[in-house]
Amino acid sequence: MENSENILAQEKIGKLIRKFSVPCVISMVVEALSLIVQLSIVAISAVNNNLFAKYGYETLTSTGAVYGTVTPFAVVGIVMKVFGIVVSIAIGIGLGGQPIIGYNMGAGNMDRVKKTISYISRLVLAVGAAAFLVFELAPDAIIAVFGNNNTAEYTEFARYAIRIFLSGIILTCYIKAPPFNCSLWETL
């Protein structure tokens, strides 16, 4: 076995560069993937803003008025915040279970790991289902949290946006919970 204390002093520089460059390159690739995700979010936001500006004045409400550009911008901001709150709860539930999962995996207690994952699954799905029911049955309650003196056009657009955009919240909560977006399943 090599003496790990003096490896930097004893190894040839070329060998050290080859040995340590691979992990560095891998970490840079992982960071680049995160950058690509963040840039795609910026691009999607820019496309959405342009679509709101273009079609906001072309889309008629049930009253015959147009939404304009301000209403879609405001409503999508609200919808994204509500989405973030619900998904953060699901992520928190998953993160809360990770120490239990890790400890029991290390102890070889796979039955307890499976039970913990099952419990987290049910809890995350229950949060998603509760949020889904609120969004579908009472979108006006969500809208009222962000203001009561809204126009009819604003309220109508907000109802559509909440019901359509947040209709997949159950699946999103499940996917975003940390035990389910990793390679944990390969070890069970």
Claim to verify: residue 99 and residue 28 sit in the same structural domain: no
Claim to verify: residue 29 and residue 105 sit in the same structural domain: no
* pLDDT at site 76: 86
* pLDDT at site 1: 46
User: Residue 3 corresponds to which amino acid?
Assistant: N
Q: How many domains is the chain built from?
A: 2
Claim to verify: residue 22 and residue 85 sit in the same structural domain: no
The three-state DSSP-derived secondary structure of the chain is CCCCCCHHHHCCHHHHHHHHHHHHHHHHHHHHHHHHHHHHHHHHHHHHHHHHHHHCCCCECCCCCECCCHHHHHHHHHHHHHHHHHHHHHHHHHHHHHHHHHHHHHCCCHHHHHHHHHHHHHHHHHHHHHHHHHHHHCHHHHHHHCCCCCCHHHHHHHHHHHHHHHHHHHHHHHHHCHHHCCHHHHHC
Claim to verify: residue 83 and residue 44 sit in the same structural domain: no
Does 48 reside within a domain? yes
Does 1 reside within a domain? yes
Biggest CA-to-CA distance, the chain: 80
Claim to verify: residue 111 and residue 179 sit in the same structural domain: yes
pTM of the model: 0.70
Claim to verify: residue 74 and residue 148 sit in the same structural domain: yes
Tell me if 97 sits within 8 A of 124, measured CB to CB: no
Tell me if 166 sits within 8 A of 128, measured CB to CB: no
Claim to verify: residue 30 and residue 105 sit in the same structural domain: no
Provide the residue range defining the domain that includes 26.
Answer: 1-55
* pLDDT at site 3: 55
Q: Partners of 66 in the beta sheet?
A: 60
Claim to verify: residue 78 and residue 129 sit in the same structural domain: yes
Does 93 reside within a domain? yes
Claim to verify: residue 72 and residue 51 sit in the same structural domain: no
Claim to verify: residue 103 and residue 179 sit in the same structural domain: yes
Does 61 reside within a domain? no
Claim to verify: residue 79 and residue 166 sit in the same structural domain: yes
Claim to verify: residue 74 and residue 159 sit in the same structural domain: yes
Per-residue pLDDT of the chain (188 residues; tens, 9 = 90+): 455 566 767 778 888 787 778 877 887 787 788 788 888 888 988 888 888 777 766 776 666 677 777 888 888 889 999 999 999 999 999 888 888 988 888 898 889 988 998 899 999 999 999 999 999 999 999 999 988 888 888 888 899 989 998 999 999 988 888 766 555 555 55
Does 60 reside within a domain? no
